[in-house]
Amino acid sequence: MRYIRNIAMATAPEKTGSDLTDEKYWDMLNRKSVSRFFLLASLSDRPQHGYELRRSIGQCCPGAEPTDAMIYPTLKILLGGGYIACDVDSSGTRDRKVCSLTPKGQAAYAAAARAWAKMLPWLQQCVTSAGVLEPTPMKDEKLTDQSEFRASV
């Protein structure tokens, strides 16, 4: 029992300095949790380098823009796991690593999409029960369907 109490104390909001009433805290948490999924979605359309990924995710999902500190460690993990392959593009002023999904990466993207799809109804139910009846666009933009998301990536 003591072990469980220590874990709870170590992760309690007052110990981490997080204010759970601050919407910015939840925005940051959401960005972290979906950034790997959006990265896989972007790479499923075409090979891209890190800056392109950051820009394309930011364009398709305003408010969920990943930072370099989110993108590059994630690319390293995906590369190490065989989910992406990277080639060096020397055509510009500097070399860039252009990454693309491997078949294993395509399977990971499909698995992630299925997992997120299972969560969407529950998320909507919780959002509705909190009194938020309509989705709020993150930056005055609203994607009405999946085809708009795919077109913007």
Most confident of 56-65, 84-93, 107-116: 107-116
Q: How many domains does the chain have?
A: 1
- Judge whether 80 lies within some domain: yes
pTM: 0.71
- Judge whether 1 lies within some domain: no
- pLDDT surpassing 50 at residue 10: no
Q: Per-residue confidence at 1, pLDDT binned at 50, 70, 90?
A: very low
Q: Per-residue confidence at 9, pLDDT binned at 50, 70, 90?
A: very low
Q: How far apart are CA 80 and CA 86, in angstroms?
A: 11
Q: How far apart are CA 32 and CA 27, in angstroms?
A: 9
What is the rounded average pLDDT for all residues in the chain?
A: 81
The phi-psi region of residue 26 (left if phi > 0; otherwise alpha if psi is between -120 and 50; otherwise beta) is alpha
Structural domain containing residue 44: 19-152
Q: What is the CATH number of the domain that holds 61?
A: 1.10.10.10
Which among 70, 2, 18, 15 is positioned nearest to 42, based on CA atoms? 70
Tens of pLDDT, residue by residue over 122-133, are 988 998 999 887
